[in-house]
Structure 1
């Protein structure tokens, strides 16, 4: 699926905070922003990379589509399509 087809789906989802720690709208928007930036600009700061890694490891309620988009960024880093910058 092309990246342009995925962005509208990501941006229209609404998240609410619960006692169990479900992702908030602000946190989901930040992940969307980082994924979008990495794929379209071809670069990602190490700090932002750590944010994505933390989201994957710490948030068990992360939506499968969001997980796949974050994994896509990680794959692009491994393939050299996205560079980690300081």
Structure 2
């Protein structure tokens, strides 16, 4: 799974969040990438943190779906 996260690391958080929002679905790979971005020591901006949190909020409220 670590390989999957690294493979997507060339995409920006904004690009990933935009893709999730457009499709209405979040893949396990997207979830791992965003979760690792928040939990790792890498520096993310407050805007990126807000985008990630908003995406997770949308999943909790059912506005987005998790898919495998």
| TM-score, L = length of structure 2 | 0.77
RMSD across aligned positions (CA): 1.9
Structure 1 segments of 4+ aligned residues over 6 angstroms from their partners: none
Higher relative contact order (CA 8 A, sep 6+): 2
Report the Cα distance in structure 2 between the residues aligned to 1:55 and 1:30, rounded to whole angstroms.
11
Structure 1 segments unaligned to the other structure (5+ residues): 1-25
* Other structure's SS at 1:44 match: strand
Q: Which has the larger radius of gyration?
A: 1
| TM-score, L = length of structure 1 | 0.62
Change (3 A) 1:34 1:64: same
Report the Cα distance in structure 2 between the residues aligned to 1:36 and 1:55, rounded to whole angstroms.
16
